[in-house]
Structure formats: C-alpha cells, structure tokens
Amino acid sequence: MLLWLAISLMTGAAIMAVLWPLRPRVGDGVSDGQADLAVYRDQLAEIDRDRDAGLIGASESEAARTEVARRMLRVAQADAANRIATSSDRRRRLAAAVALVGVPLFAGGLYFALGSPEQGGQPLAARLDARPEQADVAILVRRVEDHLNANPDDGRGYEVIAPIYMRIGRFEDAARAWENAIRLNGSDARRQNGLGEALLAQSGGVVTAEAKAAFLAAQADDPKDPKARYFLGLAAEQDGRPQEAASIWSALAADTPADAPWRPMLDAALARVGAPTSGPSAADVAAAQQMSAEDRNAMVRGMVDRLSQRLAENGDDLDGWLRLMRAWNVLGEGGKARDAAAKARVQFAADTQALGRIDALARELGLGS
C-alpha cells in the first residue's frame, strides 16, 4: 500500500515539474541580447575597477575597453529585434498533455515490465528478529549455521539442518552435515541413509561408490532397513546386475506391507528388472512393463543428451558435469564420459577444488585422468 502511495506521489511530482513552469508569466519576451549586453557592461565596470586598483595600466585598460565595446556593438547589431522569446498556447497544451499522459504510461509500463512491486524490502536485521514461525528458510538455516560455526561439535544441530538442506536443494551441504552428524553422534541407519540420499541427489540419481558405502553402513546397522535395501538394489541395477537387484527387491517386497508408502515405487522397480511383483500392479508399473528395454534405454539416453546439451550452452554447473560423466559411464559410453571430463576440466580450469573433484570421479569411474 505504502509503495503505491509513494509511486503515485513520485509520478505526481514528475508531472508537476512540467506543468508548474508552463504557467504563463510576465516577463516572457526578453531578448537574449540583453543578457549578453549585461555581461559586457559588467566587464566594462571590472576594467575600471582593475585600473583604479593599479592592476592594469591606463593604456591596457583603454585597449580592453575598446575590445569590449566592439563586442557590444556586434550584439546590438545582430539580434536587436528577432530573438524575442514568445510562448504559444498550442505548444503549452501539447507539452502538458505529454506530461499528464505520457509520464504515467511510460513509467508505469516500464516499471511493470522490470520491477517486482509485490516484494517488500527485507533488511537482514528484521529477518533475523522475526519469530521462528515467520522466518524464511534461508534465515532459519543461517541461524543454525551461525550456531554451528560457534559450536562446531553440536551433532544435533547438524541433524536438524541436514534435511532442510535436502529440501532447499543444497545437497553438498546436506551430505557434509550428515557426515558431521555421523562423526559426532555415531553411525546409525537413519544418518547413513540421509548421507546416502544426499550423495545420490548430488550425483543426479546415480548410486556412487560413496553412496553405496553409506547404504551398506545403514544396512549393517539395521539389516531390515527398507530404504537402504531399496537403494542397494538400485545400485546393483545401475551396475548392470539386474538379477541381483531383483533378488534384493523381492526380499524387500516380502517384508513390505501392502500399504507401505514406498510400495508402488518398489513394484515399479521390480517390474523394471522383470521380477514378479507381489502386490497389486499400479498403473505406472504397467507402463514401465509395456516399455521395451530399447525404449527404456532411449528414454534414459534422451535425458542424458538433454543434460549434455544444457551443459554445452551453460557450462557453469559442476554437479551437472559430474552427473553427465557418471551417466555416460553407466550407459557404457566410456569415450563420451572421458570427453565430458575433458570439457569440464576446461570449464573449471581456474578452480582447483572443482578440478580435484573431476579428477577424483574420473579415477573412480576408471576413465584415466
């Protein structure tokens, strides 16, 4: 509301800046020549002052006077009559109309194209002072971060923040937070699964060796843990061992109640590797079953191609490049994976940390560096 008031006032001020001086005024119609003559008269007076003060000699002052007088004569000849300013009602009305209509239209139009009138100011102090239920996510995260910077050994803090990092897409930070939670609070299935999922999200859905290690640790803690078992099955599938995946998932399915929320996902996975599903087949399962191996392959390839294209247009996405290297590798395209690694190295030539990660992944995938 306040913003609209300010906008109206400012627009009004801009219009008034045109309308106010357009009022007719007495004294319109003074020749510019008068202004010139005034300057010259002042100059003559100054020459006299200087002569009286002894700064210039009599003959010099006489010469200067002659010069000024010459200039005065020229002005008088040149524009005695023809430079008297006038004013016309037609032009005045036109200018007023332009200001009244043009200014709001132009400024309003441009502002709506560029501005974000629905957003208020967000000074940091006010955001930090807001009650927790009103604070935005970034501020909540910042508060926990500030707290963790001051108390780097508070394991509970890491556990609180890790899922939030996952939700706002900061997967690297989530993985680091889970690692810290594991370091400080000990390893358990929930934390290891969290770490595994964060790593998985970071690599764009590929179960990396690190992620697999996390899920294995989770399973070691709780052999029946469904999440770890599901992702270990996925790891087997991605490694090209559908049989092993099928057996892991079938065993999991046997332990899973029919109304478990992850049941449809599990069934879809089973259908993908061609194992019988025990539960009622969902529509997506059917769809996946109908899809031939070739089609599935083509679909995956399409996705990878799109990723590759996006990176070619805008290469400033390290995680994207890492995902692409993995994806080509999983699809058995070692050459393309190596090519992606090379491009990524060029892109991040100035960033040693990024180069380190690219090289590490290349080694892990056996691409040679």
Partner 1 sequence: MNPEIGHYALVLALAVAILQTVLPIWGARTNDAALMRVGPSLALAFCGFVALSFAVLVTAYVSSDFSVLNVVENSHSLKPLLYRITGTWGNHEGSMLLWALVLAIFGATVALFGGNLPARLKANVLGVQGSIGVAFTAFLLLTSNPFTRVIPAPAEGHDLNPVLQDIGLAIHPPLLYLGYVGFSVTFAFAVAALIDGRIDAAWARWVRPWALGAWGFLTLGIAMGSYWAYYELGWGGWWFWDPVENASLMPWLAGTALIHSAVVMEKRDALKVWTVLLAILAFSLSLLGTFLVRSGVLTSVHAFATDPTRGVFILCILVIFIGGSLTLFAARAGSLRQGGIFAPISREGALVLNNLLLTAAAAAVFVGTLYPLALEAVTGEKITVGPPYFNLTVGALMLPVTFAMPFGPLLAWKRGDLAGAAQRLMLAFLLGLLAAGVAAYAQGGGPALTPIGIGLAAFVVLGAVVDIAERAGIGRLPAATAFARFRGLPRAAHGAALAHAGVGICLLGIVAETSWNSETIIGAKVGDRFPVGGYELTLARLEPRTGPNYRELVGVFDISRGGASVGTIESSKRLFTARNMPTTEAGIRTFGFSQLYVSLGDELPGGGLAIRAYWKPLVTLIWIGAIIMALGGVFSLSDRRLRVGAPKPARKAVPAAKPVAAE
State which of positions 99-118 bind partner 1 (CB under 8 A).
99, 102-103, 106-107, 110-111, 114-117
Pairwise CA distance, residues 208 & 15, whole Å: 65
Stretch that binds partner 1, among 56-64, 300-308, 338-346, 357-365 (CB under 8 A): 56-64
According to CB under 8 A, which one of 52, 83, 255, 349 is a site residue for partner 1? 83
Stretch that binds partner 1, among 11-19, 316-324, 328-336, 339-347 (CB under 8 A): 11-19
Who's near 14: CB < 8 A, 6+ residues apart? 99, 103, 107
Other CB atoms within 10 A of residue 365 CB: 19
Least distance (Å) between residue 363 CB and partner 1: 26
Stretch that binds partner 1, among 55-63, 194-202, 205-213, 336-344 (CB under 8 A): 55-63
Our CB check for partner 1 shows the closer of 114 and 254 to be: 114
State which of positions 59-78 bind partner 1 (CB under 8 A): 59-64, 67-68, 71, 74-75
The amino acid sitting at 357 is R
Our CB check for partner 1 shows the closer of 43 and 185 to be: 43
Is residue 93 close enough to count as binding partner 1 by CB under 8 A?
no
Answer for the pair 362, 368: CB distance below 8 angstroms, yes or no. Answer: yes
Tokens 């100054």: give the residue.
46
Number of amino acids touching partner 1 (CB under 8 A):
81
Q: Would you state the torsion angle of the CA atoms of residues 26, 30, 32, 38, taken in this order, to the nearest 10 degrees?
A: -100
The residues with which 84 forms a beta bridge, in sequence order, are 31
Other CB atoms within 10 A of residue 332 CB: 9
- CA angle 268/225/239 to nearest 5° reads 55
Least distance (Å) between residue 126 CB and partner 1: 8
According to CB under 8 A, which one of 3, 101, 220, 299 is a site residue for partner 1? 3
Is residue 40 close enough to count as binding partner 1 by CB under 8 A?
yes
**DSSP code of residue 98:** I
The residues with which 31 forms a beta bridge, in sequence order, are 84
State which of positions 114-173 bind partner 1 (CB under 8 A): 114-117, 119-125, 127, 136-139, 141-142
Our CB check for partner 1 shows the closer of 279 and 315 to be: 315
Is residue 14 close enough to count as binding partner 1 by CB under 8 A?
yes
Pairwise CA distance, residues 351 & 345, whole Å: 9
